[in-house]
Amino acid sequence: GAGVSQSPRYKVAKRGQDVALRCDPISGHVSLFWYQQALGQGPEFLTYFQNEAQLDKSGLPSDRFFAERPEGSVSTLKIQRTQQEDSAVYLCASSQGQKNEKLFFGSGTQLSVL
Amino acid sequence: AQKITQTQPGMFVQEKEAVTLDCTYDTSDPSYGLFWYKQPSSGEMIFLIYQGSYDQQNATEGRYSLNFQKARKSANLVISASQLGDSAMYFCAMREPPYSSASKIIFGSGTRLSIRP
């Protein structure tokens, strides 16, 4: 595709529900990042993939959060037993993989947990 | 842990004036990369400019330039001749050491810039 695509754009979940957020990076992009952004704040790092390898998951807030990228392309961020504090915008970004390269961001998924 | 600090939560600037957005970073590694991104109200993050720690010159991209002071660990973004469309959140970011494609990118808390007509 032309850009990074995230779905759904909006997700409302009841507390305790499981949710899955999808990220379709730009074709051929090796690197894929997930960030969590609270309203009025900067993006907080969650996890990072290079191809299918998850190189860093130090930002995942708890073991309720899980991310995968099994074929090195599409990635899914799963949140189990959602809590109200999980409400945020989840941003996905990709790049070709060079260290000095800019990230291309998707429009994000806005998750609201009621 | 590495850290990015943006001390200006919000700024108001008159249209056509220049504006400087502050960013300081904390790292003991000599090799790192710094980025600035813009986030309009639509939500999508847009890359503006990049500076490598070993780059000899300050980076420039059109109306954007980076005032890079390595000894002070600051990388301030300068926007010349501001326009109404520059109103947005601005984030400073750093690729953490060890500086490689395997390291994560962290962001500051941002500065909300509002341009007055």
Name every residue whose Cβ is closer than 8 Å to that of residue A98 and which is 6 or more positions away in sequence: B101
Closest-CA residue of A relative to B34 is A100
pLDDT band at A53 (very low <50, low <70, confident <90, very high): very high
* Contact assessment for residue A19 and residue A70, using Cβ atoms and an 8 Å cutoff: no
Question: How far B107 CA lies from chain A's nearest CA (Å)?
Answer: 6
pLDDT digits (tens, 9 = 90+) for B32-72: 999 999 999 988 899 999 999 999 899 999 999 999 999 99
Is the pLDDT reported for residue A112 higher than 90?
yes
3 state SS for chain B = CCEEECCCCEEEEECCCCEEECCEEECCCCCCEEEEEEECCCCCCEEEEEEECCCCCCCEECCEEEEEECCCCEEEEEECCCCHHHCEEEEEEEECCCCCCCCCEEECCCEEEEEEC
What pLDDT score does B1 carry?
Answer: 63
DSSP result, A31-56: EEEEEEE-TTSPPEEEEEEETTEEEE
pLDDT digits (tens, 9 = 90+) for B76-106: 999 999 999 999 999 999 988 887 777 889 9
In chain B, what residues touch A58 (CB-CB under 8 Å)? 104
Is the pLDDT reported for residue B2 higher than 70?
no
In chain B, what residues touch A108 (CB-CB under 8 Å)? 43-44
